[in-house]
Structure 1
């Protein structure tokens, strides 16, 4: 397996992965609209100096993805002035449980550290217990739970 920066030529596969993420998240989020959803501007992320989009390949097949994006906290009371936001974490179902996501996480965290970023964040559905456990094993800890009510 190799992990490398994504290129524009990878977009067709990455767009499939995006729909895989949407499908995986539908059971956790009843507010998602039906049909195709695009969470990410993948082309912009691939081209951005403030982002790193990675893919993992095995035998010339892209099997996983993830990105880190440098963001500002959006307030004036955090003890950091920027952080790396991780997203687009996807591993093809037949390759899950092999440590592929950890490879991508490690590379993204290293990239953030190389930019002197000490705060790294990501979002995960609280009900997605396997993902929560995987991120906790990688060193993440819960910070905030978003609550909602439909009236």
Structure 2
């Protein structure tokens, strides 16, 4: 398996992965609209100097993805002016359980550090226990829980 930066040639498979992310998140979020949803502007992320989209390939097949996007922090934080936000973490179902998500996460963190970014954040649904455990294993700690009232 290799990891590399995504290109515009990967957009078709990345759009499929995006729908895989949506399908995985639907059980955790009853407020999502029905049908196809686009969370990301993948082409903009691929082209941005403040972002990277990483894919994992095995036997010339793209099997996983993730992105890091440098964002400005709120002015009330005194320890960092910018942080890296990770998202679009997806591994094809038949390749899960092999540590691929950790490889991509490590690559995104490394990319962030190479740009002088020390704060890395991501969002995960509170009920998604397997994802929470995986991110905790990678060194992430819970920080904020969004609450809602119907």
What's the TM-score bracket when you normalise by the shorter of the two chains? over 0.9
- In 1, distance between residues paired with 2:121 and 2:142? 10
- Superposition deviation, residue 8 in structure 1: 0.1
Equivalent residue pairs, number: 150
- Superposition deviation, residue 77 in structure 1: 3.2
- In 2, distance between residues paired with 1:123 and 1:142? 9
- Superposition deviation, residue 78 in structure 1: 4.1
TM-score, with length taken from structure 1:
0.97
Map of 1:136-151 to 2, 5 A cutoff? 136-150=136-150
User: In structure 2, what is the equivalent of residue 90 of structure 1?
Assistant: 90
- Superposition deviation, residue 74 in structure 1: 2.7
TM-score, with length taken from structure 2:
0.98
User: In structure 2, what is the equivalent of residue 114 of structure 1?
Assistant: 114
- In 2, distance between residues paired with 1:118 and 1:129? 26
- In 2, distance between residues paired with 1:140 and 1:54? 19
Map of 1:38-77 to 2, 5 A cutoff? 38-77=38-77
3-state DSSP of counterpart to 1:20 = helix
Deviations 1:66-94 (A, max 9, x none): 00000011333342100000000000000
- In 2, distance between residues paired with 1:121 and 1:41? 19
* CA-based RMSD: 0.7
Runs (4 or more) in structure 1 with deviation over 3 Å come to none
2:6·2:46 contact (CA, 8 Å) conserved in 1?
yes
- Structure 1, unmatched stretches of 5+, are none
